[in-house]
Structure 1
């Protein structure tokens, strides 16, 4: 039976400016402009839908053309789209400047609308029915802290596993009050540092720091260096494959979360499932889009051949 995943989080507009030459801070840089629907939860939802899962997305949206763009992208990906539409407000946006190498220079997140996704909206009948009907809940830290806490508590009361995406160093702290009831957390090294208040000397050092604040299982990405997968006393590292050509790194972490979750749902342990996540991320950075529109389950299995076996540290 097809597994059902309920996603609550960011679904907005991504604007990305790519610098054509060497980056000159404090000056005008020639480049190109690109705009598409995005958001951590939405990117992960589209990846999961392309991998064959039934995905329902709940997110605030403005009553503007950008909101319509997000809705069209959800329909195109095969997502059951259930937005809260605020007709008099604008859809949130994320604006990034990217170097010609694909690396992020700086970004600005205009996410004010997400504060209107308050906990009481979870008591709406169709939202309660959605929680009951799905096998897994995926939440991202774009939502307010109190709403995330309510989502995790509701899922926990229904015995539904919760997976979380950190989004940014500024937002990951919103997960703290509910961190002990989150089954899997996906974050990068900067976000992990913001969460625990320090950075270890090596990859293995993340396990005790994250465990100390109540995290059960996590994947910490570290750019092109080995990522760290932690679950219940097991710590593993994995060297992500190097893509032949990096078009854009936007969405790589979201696709890693989606690919890993897809494998976890089939019953694979985290240290093996994260290989699928690394393969999904490698496919994503080869596309100029935040979600590789050519992603399929078969294509992911083929890309898996380029991902090494995780190294178990202990």
Structure 2
């Protein structure tokens, strides 16, 4: 297994409010509040650590209580932060504040991620040795377009995996010179990147293939309860969603991408990226935390085999 990963992307403190009852807007709702380490890049990295990978991260930390908490969280799980930038006092740690309803679905969220705007290409150049050693480079769009294009140009010979993060951040990717092996948007992000509204089977296939044509080998598109798609090498596959139990959907997409990387790195069939993605996402949703601390190689392999028996991937 190719197991060295370099993550370039976001890390933040996740503050999540879980309502005990159906949410009442414009009112105070009884529930539970949890604080945990998160961020798209970090979440993907932690899931990969828990499934046997060595992970380093290039990200931004602030010298504030949340920043020290986040640095300690990385140390505790064995994530190397030697390539990350620690900003002086006065910077704010990235924080993601969300409210989850009684059914485990995110109702609303606010993100404060201004610190990542201070990361520069020179900061990433400090990671060159780690980037050359990495088997996979995982990036998210919390970092600047300049950093994204620098990495894609300089390390185009590597397995580059990319997560657009959100519709607002997907918008800044227009015009990028892509060179990526795997892109994992959700359907809304994919519509922005492709410029096509995917409101029919034909339009969905057209949009996916347009994204492939930008310079992306495989597009892994998630569509919530409607399942996921895989497009590449002239083929398009669709897989229904696994409708298991859920406590929290936050982090499911990050786990999906980590599962897909696990499947890809093991040299399995290309469609196993879908199965492993669904398997990892279903495990993530069983925990109130954004990364399920029970995630492991054994659990992921077992869940994938279970899903293969109940989910059918079809080529369109």
Q: For this structure pair, what is the TM-score category when the shorter chain's length is used for normalisation? A: over 0.9
Cα distance in 2 for residues equivalent to 1:130 and 1:177: 28
State yes or no: 1:184 paired with 2:187: no
Q: In structure 2, what is the equivalent of residue 108 of structure 1?
A: 110
Deviations 1:200-234 (A, max 9, x none): 23356323213324143111111111211111211
Quote how far apart the aligned CAs of 1:69 are: 1.5
Following superposition of structure 1 onto structure 2, how do residues 235-314 of structure 1 map, counting pairs within 5 Å?
A: 235-243=236-244, 245-308=245-308, 309-314=311-316
Cα distance in 2 for residues equivalent to 1:206 and 1:184: 18
Q: In structure 1, what is the equivalent of residue 195 of structure 2?
A: 197
SS of 1:249 mapped into structure 2: coil
Q: Normalization by structure 1: what TM-score? A: 0.93
Contact kept? 1:240, 1:307, Cα under 8 Å: no
Q: Normalization by structure 2: what TM-score? A: 0.92
What stretches of structure 2 of length at least 5 have no aligned partner?
none
Contact kept? 2:58, 2:124, Cα under 8 Å: no
Cα distance in 2 for residues equivalent to 1:295 and 1:180: 32
Deviations 1:86-126 (A, max 9, x none): 121121111111111111111111010000111222333xx
Deviations 1:139-160 (A, max 9, x none): 001111222111222211xx11
* Pairwise CA RMSD: 1.7
Q: In structure 2, what is the equivalent of residue 118 of structure 1?
A: 120
SS of 2:271 mapped into structure 1: helix
**Inter-CA distance 179–264: structure 2 relative to 1 (3 Å threshold):** farther
Cα distance in 2 for residues equivalent to 1:203 and 1:183: 24
**Inter-CA distance 13–203: structure 2 relative to 1 (3 Å threshold):** farther
Contact kept? 1:272, 1:310, Cα under 8 Å: no
Cα distance in 2 for residues equivalent to 1:107 and 1:203: 31
**Inter-CA distance 140–12: structure 2 relative to 1 (3 Å threshold):** same
Contact kept? 1:219, 1:228, Cα under 8 Å: yes
Cα distance in 1 for residues equivalent to 2:275 and 2:200: 21
State yes or no: 1:31 paired with 2:23: no
Q: In structure 1, what is the equivalent of residue 44 of structure 2?
A: 44
Contact kept? 1:170, 1:194, Cα under 8 Å: no
State yes or no: 1:169 paired with 2:143: no
Contact kept? 1:260, 1:274, Cα under 8 Å: yes
Which stretch has the larger CA shift, 136-145 or 204-213? Answer: 204-213
**Inter-CA distance 216–205: structure 2 relative to 1 (3 Å threshold):** farther
Cα distance in 1 for residues equivalent to 2:250 and 2:47: 13
SS of 1:85 mapped into structure 2: strand
**Inter-CA distance 155–98: structure 2 relative to 1 (3 Å threshold):** same
Count of residues in Structure 1 that have an aligned counterpart in Structure 2: 309
**Inter-CA distance 177–154: structure 2 relative to 1 (3 Å threshold):** farther
Cα distance in 2 for residues equivalent to 1:270 and 1:172: 25
Cα distance in 1 for residues equivalent to 2:108 and 2:201: 26
Q: In structure 1, what is the equivalent of residue 231 of structure 2?
A: 230
Cα distance in 2 for residues equivalent to 1:193 and 1:26: 32
Deviations 1:50-83 (A, max 9, x none): 1101111110110112112212221222211232
Cα distance in 2 for residues equivalent to 1:27 and 1:204: 44
State yes or no: 1:141 paired with 2:150: no
What stretches of structure 1 of length at least 5 have no aligned partner?
none
